Amino acid sequence: MACGAPTPATAVGDADSAPQPVIAESGPVIVFLGDSLTAGFGLAAKDALPEQVAKIFKDDGIEVRIINAGVSGDTTANGLARFGWSVAATDPDLVVVALGANDYLLGIDPEITKQNLSAIVQKARESDIDCVLVGLQPRGALDEGSRDAVFAAIYPDLAAKFDLEYYPSLMTGVQDKPELLQTDGLHPTAQGVKIIARNLAQFLEPIVESHE
User: In DSSP terms, which residues pair with 132 in a beta bridge?
Assistant: 96, 165
DSSP-derived secondary structure for 152-200: HHHHHHHHHHHT-EEE--TTTTTTT-GGGB-TTSSSB-HHHHHHHHHHH
CB-count exposure of residue 13 (10 Å: 0-12, 13-18, 19+): middle
- pLDDT tens-place values along the chain, 212 residues long: 456 543 332 333 333 444 655 545 678 999 999 999 999 999 999 999 999 999 999 999 999 999 999 999 999 999 999 999 999 999 999 999 999 999 999 999 999 999 999 999 999 999 999 999 999 987 766 777 788 899 999 999 999 999 999 999 999 889 889 999 999 999 999 999 999 999 999 999 999 999 87
Q: Which domains does the chain have, with CATH numbers?
A: 22-209 (3.40.50.1110)
Among residues 14, 26, 184, 210, the one annotated as catalytic is 184
Residue 193 · residue 47 · CB < 8 Å: yes
CA 111 – CA 35 distance, rounded (Å): 19
Return the pLDDT at 52: 97
Specify the pairing of strand 130-134 against strand 94-98: parallel
In whole angstroms, what separates CA 5 from the centre of its chain?
A: 16
What pTM did the predictor assign? 0.88
CA separation for the pair 187, 183 (Å, rounded): 8
Alpha carbons 163 and 140: distance in angstroms, whole number? 28
Q: Which of these is catalytic: 47, 72, 130, 187? A: 187
Is 93 labeled as catalytic in the residue annotation? no
47 is catalytic: no
Residue from 35, 36, 47, 93 carrying the catalytic annotation: 36
Question: What pLDDT shows up at residue 141?
Answer: 67
